[in-house]
């Protein structure tokens, strides 16, 4: 008997999950040359607190001090056959901008012929009434680069002198860790699952070694790659270890990775971007082919506020 695919249109015959490409890739620019000028109050971010890709944009919006510049609405973490929904509830709400009931309405308003899977995050333009981008990579870098005149924050997450190295390591982390947990969890054949898990832990082991001599991935400064990794690490023990069967080890079993996770979690403002209730309810209740009972585990216990023990590797440069 063959396993049921989570997203059949993104599943290949050999049982491998291959994520669809982002479709909307317009760009907000500081000078407006793209047709989308960086302006306060013009753009709105639609996100789920459960989704790691959306979480990345939430983090950068907060770190860059753009919360009063770019609005944000949070979707219901429990996604059904109709997709992501705007509902009033604990930590999520109806859409205050367009009155959309489902995020698919934003996609259809932008492209009535859109027929692929609807994903978060979405950056919405309130002037042209359309999606600018549904790419977390692009949105993160727009927030980092293009809104500088609208914030007093001088933090740079993608410094020019490290860009080549950042791209190389970010690509490795994306392929084997960020998307790797999904390739394991959504695999529908044993061989594909095992390859994904082996690649995942090879990369985690490599990062564990890298973090033994430096505080962050690129030394004493936190860059975008650290946050790309963080959004998967923070979900790993509560979800990916059990739900996606990535169970060689937990993150808490890695001395350096777990200390690093706590270190990033304790950066000002980051803990409030993490909602474990949304995270666990989304995965365990939405993926009912993986978890048919839809029971949500009450653990694991993680003291992320405990001392991280990373100070001996140097003080962060921010």
Per-residue pLDDT tens over the stretch 82-115: 999 999 999 999 999 999 999 999 999 999 999 9
Q: From CA 314, how far away is CA 215, in angstroms rounded? A: 7
The string of pLDDT tens digits covering residues 20-76 is: 788 999 999 999 999 999 999 999 999 999 999 999 999 999 999 999 999 999 999
Residue 141 pLDDT exceeds 50: yes
> Among all residues, which ones are annotated catalytic?
51, 182
Residue spans per domain, the chain = 8-150, 160-313
- Asked if CATH classification 1.20.1050.10 holds for the domain at 160-313, the reply, yes or no, is yes
Residues in the chain: 318
The sign of the torsion formed by the CA atoms of 74, 77, 83, 85 equals negative
Q: pLDDT digits over 237-280, tens only?
A: 999 999 999 999 999 999 999 999 999 999 999 999 999 999 99
- Cβ contacts of residue 197 below 8 Å, gap of 6+? 184, 245, 246, 248
| Six token digits for residue 260 | 């690093």
pTM of this structure: 0.95
Instruction: Determine the pLDDT at residue 22.
Output: 86
pLDDT tens-digit readout, 7-25:
666 565 677 877 778 899 9
Domain 8-150 fold is Glutaredoxin (3.40.30)
Distance between CA 147 and CA 142 in Å, rounded? 7
Burial class (CB in 10 A: 0-12, 13-18, 19+), 188: buried
Q: Which pLDDT does position 1 carry in this prediction?
A: 38
pLDDT greater than 80 at residue 204:
yes
| pLDDT score, position 2 | 47
Mean pLDDT across the chain, nearest whole number?
A: 95
Averaged pLDDT for residues 225-237: 98
């Amino acid at each position: 008997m063959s396993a049921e695919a989570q997203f059949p249109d993104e599943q290949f015959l050999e049982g491998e999950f291959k994520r669809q490409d982002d479709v909307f890739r317009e760009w907000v620019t500081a000078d407006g040359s793209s047709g989308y000028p960086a302006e306060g109050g013009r753009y709105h971010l639609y996100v789920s607190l459960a989704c790691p890709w959306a979480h990345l944009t939430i983090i950068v919006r907060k770190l860059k001090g753009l919360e009063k510049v770019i609005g944000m609405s949070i979707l219901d973490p429990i996604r059904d056959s109709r997709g992501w929904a705007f509902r009033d509830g604990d930590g999520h709400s109806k859409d205050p901008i367009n009155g959309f009931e489902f995020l698919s309405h934003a996609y259809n308003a932008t492209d009535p012929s859109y027929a692929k899977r609807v994903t978060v995050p979405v950056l919405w333009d309130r002037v042209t009434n359309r999606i600018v981008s549904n790419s977390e990579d692009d949105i993160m870098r727009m927030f980092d680069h293009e809104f500088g005149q609208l914030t007093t924050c001088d933090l740079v997450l993608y410094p020019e002198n490290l860009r080549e190295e950042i791209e190389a390591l970010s690509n490795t982390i994306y392929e084997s860790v960020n998307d790797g947990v999904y390739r394991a969890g959504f695999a529908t054949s044993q061989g594909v699952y095992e390859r994904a898990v082996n690649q995942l832990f090879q990369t985690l082991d490599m990062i564990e070694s890298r973090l033994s001599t430096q505080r962050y991935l690129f030394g004493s400064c936190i860059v975008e790659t650290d946050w790309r990794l963080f959004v998967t690490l923070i979900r790993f023990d509560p979800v990916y270890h059990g739900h996606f069967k990535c169970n060689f080890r937990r993150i808490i079993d890695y001395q350096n990775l777990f200390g690093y996770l706590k270190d990033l979690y304790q950066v000002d403002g980051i803990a409030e971007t993490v909602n474990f209730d949304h995270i666990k309810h989304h995965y365990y209740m939405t993926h009912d082919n993986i978890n048919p009972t839809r029971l949500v585990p009450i653990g694991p216990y993680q003291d992320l506020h405990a001392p991280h023990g990373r100070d001996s590797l140097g003080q962060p440069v921010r």
